[in-house]
């Protein structure tokens, strides 16, 4: 009987720790990734000419490019690239890649359809 109580108590204690850890992480989702480190990794992966930036052609080889073309048509990569290329030099540097992506107006980004908040409708 003692052995049973010890095992039951151990299981209950283990479950309570698991539950507490789960509650502490609730709402946080994945561990946040530093945007600058993510941009560096992307450049390292896609920069074929080694200049430290990404051309539109290099950017278009990213894993998500095919899906973007499928969803948005042939000009999708051009639009995404242009929205990120803030200095309009035809290259995406680490800062441009690390910056939060802006949704095009009317595409249903934050605030719903048309880029307007629901309160404004």
Which run of H or of E encompasses 117? Answer: none
Whole-structure pTM over 0.85, yes or no? no
What pLDDT is recorded for position 120?
Answer: 42
Q: What is the pLDDT of residues 23-63, one digit of tens each?
A: 444 455 677 889 999 999 999 999 999 999 999 999 999 98
Give the angle subtended at the CA of 74 by the CAs of 70 and 75, to the nearest 5°: 120
Cα–Cα distance between 74 and 67 in angstroms, integer? 11
Q: Which residue, 21, 66, 32, 59, is CA-closest to 43?
A: 59
Banded model confidence at residue 73, pLDDT cuts 50, 70, 90: confident
| Residues contacting residue 62 through CB under 8 Å, at least 6 positions apart | 42, 46
Banded model confidence at residue 64, pLDDT cuts 50, 70, 90: confident
User: 91 - beta bridge partners?
Assistant: 55
The correct CATH number of 35-104 out of 1.10.238.10, 3.40.50.720, 3.90.640.10, 1.10.10.10 is 1.10.238.10
Token look-up 């539109």 returns 56
Which run of H or of E encompasses 54? Answer: strand 54-55
């Amino acid at each position: 009987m003692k052995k049973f109580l010890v095992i039951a108590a151990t299981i209950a204690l283990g479950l309570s720790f698991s539950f507490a850890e789960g509650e502490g992480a609730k709402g946080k989702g994945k561990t946040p990734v530093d945007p600058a480190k993510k941009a560096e990794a992307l450049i390292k992966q896609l920069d074929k000419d080694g200049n430290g930036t990404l051309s539109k052609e290099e950017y278009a080889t990213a894993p998500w490019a095919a899906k973007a073309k499928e969803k948005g048509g042939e000009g999708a990569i051009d639009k995404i690239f242009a929205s990120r290329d803030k200095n309009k030099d035809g290259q995406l540097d680490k800062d441009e890649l690390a910056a939060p992506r802006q949704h095009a107006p009317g595409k249903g980004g934050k605030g719903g359809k048309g880029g307007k908040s629901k309160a404004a409708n």
